[in-house]
Amino acid sequence: MIPVEKNKEYTVTVDAVSSDGNGIAHIDGFAVFIPRTVDGDEVKILVVKVKSRFAYGKLLEIITPSNKRAEVTCSAYKRCGGCQLRHIKYDSQLEIKKDIVENAMQRIGGFENFEVEKIVGMDNPERYRNKMVFPIGFVNGKTECGFYAQRSHDIIPLKDCLIGDKLNSEINKAVITYMNDNNIPPYDEINHRGIVRRVFTRTSHSTGEVMVVISANVTTLPKSKKLVNILRTTSDRISSIILNINTKRNNLVITDNNVTLWGKNCILDTLCGIEFEISPESFFQVNPIQTEKLYNTALEYAELNKNTSVMDIYCGIGTISLCAATKAKNVIGIEIVERAIEDAKENAKRNNINNAVFYADSAENIVPLLIEKGEKPDVVILDPPRKGSDEKTLSAIIKAQPQRIVYVSCNPATLARDARFLADRGYFISKSSAFDLFPHTTHVECVVLMSSVDG
Ligand code: SAH
């Protein structure tokens, strides 16, 4: 018997938060997920969906707020879905993330009593993102810029997002003014007409410079000088204005077809003292302050010296590889995206690093080949995408018998699975930490050191 009914109201006390950020309450032992609540809240809810093992409730009223509740100052919070934990005090958010990691390691990985040694949060958990995308469209006949409502392409007007740079709101206003003053219509994805699709900005944490990219359905932007003028008077931090051409019927955020309208083609940022050149489409970590802390811990776990050889698998544009190369004998970086490997090689040259080589190939293909050919890294660093690594890659690593494996992960569930694979083959978890790279969201990054039982 399911003890809850659809379309009925209940008063419940939330007792936990799930890994996707919903509060959980129990009605006669039956779990009800309630978005935008936190444990300790006493709330009135409407049950909106009932499944065989759980239900979903909609928050109607907070009767007694939890002492973990924070005031929400973002006007878009309810419709955006980007910051699922914004209603929770930051310290409590960190506790929730630590629990998510520990639960995954214990339940999926079977590491009994596993505890993360530390979770590293931000001193100021706002305005951390160095890359923002604002779609542009007509809303009630007016050109507006904002974000897409959850699971839709309806634009909700919002010029400023609290996790991005404050300057974005000025940039967005300037672009709208340019469009209104010059009769430049926004792009309409239904009939594939109109011009401006979105504003995309990238900010350098180290220099403060900003790149503004206008994604548009044209090969030449009308009155582009007017756009350049208005943006240049908006802020002298803007050092690059780029047209990103996308005339196809798709919704790609960015294509590889860029025309520089004014200023530089790339902006520069630094991570752990290494300079990186960032083009509109480069992959670059979005929270450099926290990324540095994460990398420093990964490198500390790697215990590098001038005799250590390193293999950095899933290396992206070579950020970890190049930071490691300054401390190690040599580094091999492996990454599936060719363009990222080109950037990695460029970045190596720019920083006069000549003990790093890079291969553009899938890990599952090249790692076994390199190890078969006799590569014997002392330390393997891996930083896979959310789906984690795979048995071919992990088995090849085991074959090479590195002293240490430093696993950097953005998904505790796949980390737990892969760490179990390694733990069953001669490695044990000797250190672990978690990092909050995305405050107010449920995402969490981890670094785990796995050492060989044979020493
Ligand atoms: N270490 C980098 C990037 C980590 S993101 C950094 O810190 O910036 C994970 C990377 O793995 C992405 O760049 C993605 O393109 C790459 N990737 C995904 N699947 C892969 C595979 N099968 N083989 C190699 N690289 C892969």
pLDDT tens digits, one per residue of 130-170: 999 999 999 999 999 999 887 888 898 987 899 999 999 99
165 and 197 together in one domain: yes
- The residue out of 69, 99, 120 marking a domain boundary is 69
Position in ligand 1 atom list of the atom nearest CA 284 = 8
321, 188: one domain: no
- Evaluate whether residue 85 is within a structural domain: no
| pLDDT confidence of residue 283 | 85
Last residue within a domain, chosen from 50, 69, 88: 69
Q: Mean pLDDT, to the nearest integer, of 395-418?
A: 98
The answer as to whether 97 is a domain residue is no
Q: What is the pLDDT of residues 43-66, one digit of tens each?
A: 999 999 999 999 999 999 999 999
Report if residue 126 sits inside a domain.
no
Between the CA of 29 and the centroid of ligand 1 the distance, in Å, is: 41
pTM of the model: 0.93
Range of the domain at 27: 9-69
Q: Is 98 domain-assigned?
A: no
DSSP state of 207: T
Claim to verify: residue 211 and residue 154 sit in the same structural domain? yes
Q: How many domains does the chain have?
A: 3
| Ligand 1 atom 5 nearest Cα | 385
Assess whether 239 and 331 both reside in one domain. Answer: no
Euclidean distance between CA atoms 203 and 396, whole angstroms: 39
Distance 372 CA to ligand 1 centre (A): 22
Q: What pLDDT does residue 80 have?
A: 84
292 and 256 co-located in one domain:
no
Q: Are residues 229 and 315 in the same domain?
A: no
Mean pLDDT of 76-91: 92
10 Å CB burial of residue 141 (0-12, 13-18, 19+) is exposed
**Confidence tier at 294 by pLDDT (50, 70, 90):** very high
Q: Which of 221, 238, 271 is the last residue of a domain?
A: 271
- In the structure, which protein residues have their CB atom closer than 6 angstroms to any atom of ligand 1? 283, 285, 314-316, 319-320, 334-337, 340, 362-364, 383-385
Q: Ligand 1 centre from 7 Cα, in Å?
A: 45
Tell me what pLDDT residue 357 has: 98
Q: Whose CA is nearest to atom 1 of ligand 1?
A: 315
Please report whether residue 411 resides in a domain: yes
CATH number at residue 23: 2.40.50.140
Judged by DSSP in three states, 133 sits in strand
332 CA to centre of ligand 1 in angstroms:
14
Contact 382, 396 (CB under 8 A): no
Q: Indicate whether 212 belongs to any domain.
A: yes
Q: Is residue 239 part of a domain?
A: yes
Q: Can you tell me the distance from the alpha carbon of 199 to that of 217, in angstroms, rounded to the nearest whole number?
A: 13
Q: What is the predicted pLDDT for the residue at 239?
A: 98
**Tokens representing 43?**
């709330």
Whole-number Å distance, alpha carbon 387 to ligand 1 midpoint, is 11
Shared-domain flag, residues 308 and 417: yes
* CATH number of the CATH domain containing 332: 3.40.50.150
Q: Residues 209-247: pLDDT tens digits?
A: 999 999 999 999 999 999 999 999 999 999 999 999 999
Q: Is residue 442 part of a domain?
A: yes
Strands (DSSP E) along 321-373, which ranges? 330-335, 356-360
Residues 422 and 348 grouped into a single domain: yes
Q: Which atom of ligand 1 is nearest to the CA of 410?
A: 5
Best CA proximity match to 269, nearest among 168, 408, 130, 83: 130
CA distances to 19, 48, 94 from 432, rounded to whole Å, are: 19, 40, 15
For the chain, the average pLDDT equals: 96
N-to-C CA span, the chain: 55
- Is residue 323 among the annotated active site residues? no
Looking from the CA of residue 390, the nearest atom of ligand 1 is: 22
- Quick: pLDDT tens for 246-273: 999 998 999 999 999 999 999 999 999 9
Whether the pLDDT of residue 455 is over 80: the answer is no
Residue 310 and residue 398 in one domain: yes
One of 74, 161, 272, 410 is an active-site residue; which one?
Answer: 410
Please report the atom of ligand 1 found closest to the CA of residue 340: 13
